[in-house]
């Protein structure tokens, strides 16, 4: 009940107010309410010192150059002579001279010149001497003589190569020497012979009595 009364009373007030305004005529519209200014706390200003212009100091350069012990000192206004720049001289690169490498020529077999054949190879021999050594040992010295063939003779005694045409043969006194001799020549010929020599040794030398 109170709520309805309140609503009715509010509506009645609004109607009465509207009638009063229409009867009174137009009036100046009320000035709008300005919102209160909000106070903002400004940040404290940083006080910077004013820039002080640099003081220009003029230095007077003496016109007369001071002398020390008879020598003139150079002033700051003297112009230094530029240092010459050394240009490196290019070093000539040696040019490699290509030398032709000669290939060794293959070795050619030199044909062996066959010695001239002067006929068939023949040999003969002779006994030079026979000696007695202590213990009835006999030493027979024999010499072989070869002719014909192609030269370059090689001498053998019982197929043993000898150093030359004359050589010694060992034996025993009283026993014969029975051996063989062979000679070869450079043309390929070869001749061999056997010989027989009695082992006749000279008598032993008498030993002088003390």
pLDDT at residue 36 is higher than 80: no
Q: Is 180 helix (H, G, I), strand (E, B) or coil?
A: strand
Domain that holds residue 176: 122-197
Q: Which residues have C-beta within 8 Å of that of residue 8, sequence separation ≥ 6? A: none
Sheet holding 122-133, edge to edge: 122-133, 137-147, 166-172
The total number of structural domains in the chain stands at: 1
Give the pTM.
0.45
Is 189 inside a domain boundary? yes
Mean pLDDT of 137-147: 95
Q: What is the CATH number of the domain that holds 133?
A: 2.60.40
CB-count exposure of residue 100 (10 Å: 0-12, 13-18, 19+): exposed
- pLDDT for the residue numbered 34: 54
66's tokens: 């001071």
pLDDT digits (tens, 9 = 90+) for 193-205: 999 999 999 888 7
pLDDT at residue 12 is higher than 90: no
Count of other CB atoms within 10 angstroms of residue 196: 8
């Amino acid at each position: 009940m109170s709520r309805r009364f309140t609503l009715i009373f509010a509506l009645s007030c609004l109607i009465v107010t509207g009638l009063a305004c229409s009867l009174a005529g137009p009036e100046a519209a009320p000035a709008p309410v300005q919102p209160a200014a909000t106070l903002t706390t400004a940040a404290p200003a940083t006080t910077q010192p004013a820039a002080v212009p640099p003081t220009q100091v003029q230095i007077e350069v003496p016109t007369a150059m001071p002398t020390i012990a008879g020598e003139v000192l150079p002033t700051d206004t003297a112009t230094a002579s530029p240092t010459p720049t050394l240009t490196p001289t290019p070093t000539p690169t040696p040019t490699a001279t290509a030398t032709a490498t000669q290939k060794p020529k293959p070795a050619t077999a030199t044909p062996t010149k066959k010695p001239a054949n002067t006929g068939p190879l023949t040999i003969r021999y002779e006994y030079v001497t026979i000696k007695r050594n202590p213990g009835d040992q006999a030493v027979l010295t024999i010499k072989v003589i070869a002719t014909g063939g192609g030269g370059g003779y090689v001498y053998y005694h019982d197929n043993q190569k000898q150093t030359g045409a004359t050589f010694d043969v060992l034996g025993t006194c009283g026993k014969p020497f029975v051996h063989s001799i062979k000679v070869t020549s450079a043309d390929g010929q070869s001749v061999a012979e056997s010989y027989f020599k009695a082992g006749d040794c000279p008598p032993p030398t008498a030993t002088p009595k003390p």
